[in-house]
């Protein structure tokens, strides 16, 4: 065997990764050159669905990332610590790293890539966004010559699965979430999925690659799906929309360097290419000059899809290393009885299509500057002229309405649904403040953006 892998984690993604590495037949020939050398887990007693020699499992993860025999560390533990420290230690010991951990990369990417570049090692993260969908490498490589204007994605499989089943079956939120957990889609703490935080991590990573700068996660505006009720799903349907948790990064306007980055449930016209992305599927729509629109679609979570991305990253690294040092890793070569190999000598410069070298931070506009359409559902007392009063409040703040419908009653309260034309978010919020102070208005039952 040629290249030794230290696998940190043998859960959903780790097991999927091991399954690919243990069955190389019919796959790229380089897969035969990869050996699972050590596997780090929390519990040695847990039953495993993958057959590995028990002696390669350990709870001593530090020993894996410092092992001189290991070439590539694959981090599929999840969580911030010890994942971040283990990645940094692996880098310090000259190991290349493959990770699926968007939470660590979106928060500590700067520290990790700076360390990796200094040490001359690769940190690859295809699995961190869109699971099995190739989107990180395409942004770095095939789309690298484009000027990107917009990245819009459905990048969280758990919430897309939940929203799809709520719409199609009227399913209960809690039950569907439990199914998503059982299927291995959800994060260890599923509030990261439900509250949009996982999607925020992912759009921060995509925006960084698309716009060529670092992104501060705290600049990403984020709303989750818990505010989306059955009533909104039904009204959206009647109005010709579906509701999706969208992650959007775009230039505020064509000539601006200022970006808008946000995650929020959004009403999407049924004719939009992302509207038919259902269940655990993810899709990322990129608009660039001169390519125009290009869309990436596939399974965004689950063992097999995510492991595909992990192993493809390993292959990318190994392929570059093999050019740099062709003697290493000839197929079938057995070095089991040989003395430990010294750490890999690294090429003095990293391959520019695999490495990440952003230095500056992108400028992100506050959410008030966003220009978008809104959907709002009001509960009002059934007074005459309420719709007129709402219209006046909107008009006073320069908000133009596309449609206003009184849709029915909830008990004593009338339900009024409004869809606006494009409006600056700051102005829309001022109009809402005015509306909330009207005696006739009981509450703003929901507020969603419309694409």
- Ranges within 302-331 binding ligand NDP (CB under 6 A): 302, 306
- Ranges within 171-210 binding ligand NDP (CB under 6 A): 184-185, 187-188
| 3-state class (DSSP) for residue 59 | coil
CB of 224 to Na ion, least distance (A): 22
CA angle 274, 276, 280 (to 5 degrees): 90
Looking up tokens 């849709």 gives: 407
Q: Is the Cβ of residue 94 or residue 184 nearer to ligand NDP in the bound state?
A: 184
CB of 280 to ligand NDP, least distance (A): 8
101 binds ligand LTNE7NMQ (CB under 6 A): no
Question: What single-letter DSSP state applies at residue 30?
Answer: G
Is 288 in contact with 146 (CB distance < 8 Å)?
yes
CB of 147 to ligand LTNE7NMQ, least distance (A): 28
CB of 47 to ligand NDP, least distance (A): 10
Q: Residue 126 binds which entry of ligand LTNE7NMQ, ligand NDP, Na ion, none, with Cβ cut-offs from 5 to 8 Å by kind?
A: Na ion
Check 202, 250, 251, 328 and give the catalytic one: 202
Q: Give the strands of the sheet with 3-8, arranged side by side.
A: 57-58, 34-40, 3-8, 72-75, 96-99, 123-124
Is 175 in contact with 231 (CB distance < 8 Å)?
no
Name the segment binding ligand LTNE7NMQ (CB under 6 A); options: 85-93, 106-114, 185-193, 411-419: 185-193
Q: Which listed residue (14, 157, 196, 329) binds ligand LTNE7NMQ by CB under 6 A?
A: 157
Is 113 in contact with 120 (CB distance < 8 Å)?
no
Q: Which listed residue (7, 70, 72, 77) binds ligand NDP by CB under 6 A?
A: 77
Is 282 in contact with 157 (CB distance < 8 Å)?
yes
- Is-catalytic flag, 140? no
24 binds ligand NDP (CB under 6 A): no
CB of 374 to ligand NDP, least distance (A): 32
Q: Is the Cβ of residue 3 or residue 185 nearer to ligand LTNE7NMQ in the bound state?
A: 185
Positive or negative: CA dihedral 286, 205, 304, 317: positive
Question: What single-letter DSSP state applies at residue 279?
Answer: T
How far, in Å, CA of 210 to CA of 203, rounded? 10
Residue nearest to ligand NDP (CB): 11
CB of 137 to Na ion, least distance (A): 8
CA distances (Å), origin 127, targets 9, 12, 310, 370 = 14, 13, 6, 30
301 binds ligand NDP (CB under 6 A): yes
Q: Is the Cβ of residue 15 or residue 282 nearer to Na ion in the bound state?
A: 282
Tokens standing for 119?
């040490």
Name the segment binding Na ion (CB under 5 A); options: 15-23, 39-47, 220-228, 301-309: 301-309
Is 31 in contact with 24 (CB distance < 8 Å)?
yes
264 binds ligand NDP (CB under 6 A): no
Contacts of 217 by beta carbon, 8 Å cutoff, 6+ apart: 106, 107, 200, 201, 204
Q: Number of helices (H) and strands (E), helices first, in the chain?
A: 13, 17
DSSP string, 367-407: GGG-EEEEEEEEEE---TTHHHHHHHHHHHTTPPEEEEEEE
Q: Which residues bind ligand NDP (CB under 6 A)?
A: 9-14, 40-43, 46, 61, 76-78, 82, 100-101, 127, 131, 184-185, 187-188, 301-302, 306
Q: Which residues bind ligand LTNE7NMQ (CB under 6 A)?
A: 131, 156-158, 185-187, 193, 198, 300-301
For the annotated binding site for NADP(+), the residues are: 8-15
- Positions marked active-site: 202
For the annotated binding site for NADPH, the residues are: 102
Q: Which residues bind Na ion (CB under 5 A)?
A: 126, 130, 133, 135, 309
């Amino acid at each position: 065997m040629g290249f030794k892998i230290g696998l940190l984690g043998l859960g959903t993604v780790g097991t999927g990764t091991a399954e690919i590495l243990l069955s190389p037949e019919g796959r790229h020939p380089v897969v035969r050159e990869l050996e699972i050398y050590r596997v780090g887990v929390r519990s040695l007693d847990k039953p495993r669905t993958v057959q590995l020699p028990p002696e390669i499992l350990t709870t001593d993860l530090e020993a894996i990332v410092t092992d001189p025999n290991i070439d590539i560390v694959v981090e599929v533990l999840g969580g911030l610590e010890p994942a971040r420290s283990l990645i940094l230690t692996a880098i310090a010991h000259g190991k290349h790293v493959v990770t699926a951990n968007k939470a660590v990369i979106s928060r500590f990417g700067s520290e990790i890539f700076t360390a990796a570049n200094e040490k001359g090692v690769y940190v690859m993260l295809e699995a961190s966004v869109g699971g099995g969908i190739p989107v990180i490498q395409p942004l770095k490589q095939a789309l690298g010559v484009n000027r990107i204007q917009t990245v819009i994605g459905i990048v969280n499989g758990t919430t897309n699965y939940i929203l799809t089943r709520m719409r199609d079956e009227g399913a209960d939120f809690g039950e569907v979430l439990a199914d998503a957990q059982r299927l291995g889609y959800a994060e260890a703490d599923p509030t990261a999925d439900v509250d949009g935080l996982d999607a925020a991590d992912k759009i921060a990573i995509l925006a960084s690659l698309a716009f060529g700068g670092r992104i501060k996660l705290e600049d990403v505006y984020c709303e989750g799906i818990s505010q989306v009720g059955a009533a909104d799903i039904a009204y959206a349907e009647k109005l010709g929309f579906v509701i999706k948790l969208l992650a959007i990064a775009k230039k505020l306007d064509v000539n601006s360097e200022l970006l808008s980055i946000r995650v929020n449930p959004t009403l999407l016209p049924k004719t939009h290419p992302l509207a038919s992305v259902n269940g655990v599927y993810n899709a990322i729509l990129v608009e660039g000059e001169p390519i125009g629109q290009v869309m990436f679609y596939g399974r965004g979570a689950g063992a097999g899809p995510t492991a595909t991305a992990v192993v493809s990253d390993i292959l990318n690294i190994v392929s570059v290393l093999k050019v740099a040092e062709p003697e290493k890793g000839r197929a079938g070569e057995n070095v089991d009885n040989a003395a430990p190999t010294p750490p890999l000598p690294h090429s003095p410069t990293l391959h520019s299509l695999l490495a990440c070298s952003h230095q500056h931070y992108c400028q992100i506009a506050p959410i008030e500057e966003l220009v978008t359409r809104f959907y709002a559902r009001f509960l009002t007392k059934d007074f005459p002229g309420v719709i007129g009063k709402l219209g006046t409040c909107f008009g006073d703040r320069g908000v133009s309405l596309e449609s206003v419908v009184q849709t029915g009653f909830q008990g004593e309260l009338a339900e009024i649904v409004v869809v606006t034309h494009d409006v600056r978010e700051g102005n829309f919020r001022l109009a809402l403040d005015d509306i909330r102070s009207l005696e006739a208005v009981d509450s703003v039952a929901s507020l969603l953006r419309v694409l």
